[in-house]
Copies of this chain bind each other. A is one copy, B any other.
């Protein structure tokens, strides 16, 4: 009977790995660089070698492992297939558990990295105690993950929970990275907030701390905390978009909670004061009691969630 699990979070720069006991407590974590040359052909062998070395170091045998979970930066379906490859790494589509089995013969599961992180936050982070959640990562882009009754929603082609590319605005003139125009990500990501800020600052000459230096999501929320009127207006516009977008999602899914993570979430609970009023304005009243909570696992959410795929 296995007593340990590994969680692996494959990123474009590094691969994070964690060793967990069967209760979900992290015992060790480390990372290795992601070698992207040759379409990322070395990445999986590097991961396997690193895990085998850790097993040797700790005296852990295959029979001691419940399994290994892997988060990958691309759409992953329920069978663990990286459906459209992973552009950040150069990976073509392949079945992750099958490929890993060439190196280690234990149960292996895989998920999209954002979905794995969502799973980690619900299992051991800010969403502990909930069973049906929508995770919202406000970083350079807007990522997400949906868990219904404890099960990750992978989606028919592995793109479930990619809430950042939900269409929201019809008359947007700039394009999103995905090729569409008016995606939630264009307003609610760190990049989106900086864009809203620049648009607001260009509108008139009202004095603001944001006129000194480079504007970012961080300077906007620092400005809010310092009582800067223009910063508050920008945060309100951000909150209007994100609150409305999450209301649309809540009206369809009726989740117990939203778990907010990513760089923008470092602003803290003050975010909710901008998100919740528009959320309640737009949400279908039967779905309005969803809670808003902050993620707590930071960059470790991915390895927690990956391990959770096999442990939970």
CB pair B286–A162 under 8 Å, yes or no, is yes
CB pair A167–B290 under 8 Å, yes or no, is no
Cα of A163 to Cα of B161 in the assembled complex, Å: 17
Cα of A153 to Cα of B160 in the assembled complex, Å: 15
CB pair B287–A253 under 8 Å, yes or no, is no
Q: Which residues of B contact A162 (CB under 8 A)?
A: 251-252, 254, 284, 286-287
Contact with B along A49-80 (1 / 0, CB 8 A): 00000000000000000000000000100100
- A123-142: which have CB < 8 Å to B? 132
Contact of A282 among B78, B167, B244 (CB under 8 A): B167
Q: Which residues of B contact A165 (CB under 8 A)?
A: 251, 284
Cα of A188 to Cα of B260 in the assembled complex, Å: 32
CB pair A146–B252 under 8 Å, yes or no, is yes
CB pair B161–A252 under 8 Å, yes or no, is yes
Cα of A212 to Cα of B298 in the assembled complex, Å: 64
Q: Which residues of B contact A255 (CB under 8 A)?
A: 155-156
Give, as a whole number of angstroms, the nearest-CB distance from A72 to chain B.
14
Oligomeric state, in copies: 2
Chain A at the B interface: mostly helix, strand, loop or mixed?
loop
Cα of A255 to Cα of B158 in the assembled complex, Å: 10
Query: Does A267 touch B at the CB level, under 8 Å?
Result: no
Would you give 20 A-B contacts (Cβ < 8 Å), ordered by A? Answer: A84-B286, A132-B156, A144-B252, A148-B148, A153-B254, A156-B255, A156-B290, A157-B286, A157-B287, A160-B254, A161-B254, A162-B252, A163-B251, A165-B251, A167-B247, A178-B284, A178-B285, A183-B284, A252-B252, A252-B253
9 smallest beta-carbon distances between A and B, as pairs: A155-B254, A159-B286, A165-B284, A167-B282, A156-B256, A160-B254, A159-B254, A166-B251, A166-B248
Residues of A within 8 A of B (CB): 75, 78, 84, 132, 144, 146, 148-149, 151, 153-163, 165-168, 178-180, 183, 244, 247-249, 251-256, 282-287, 289-290
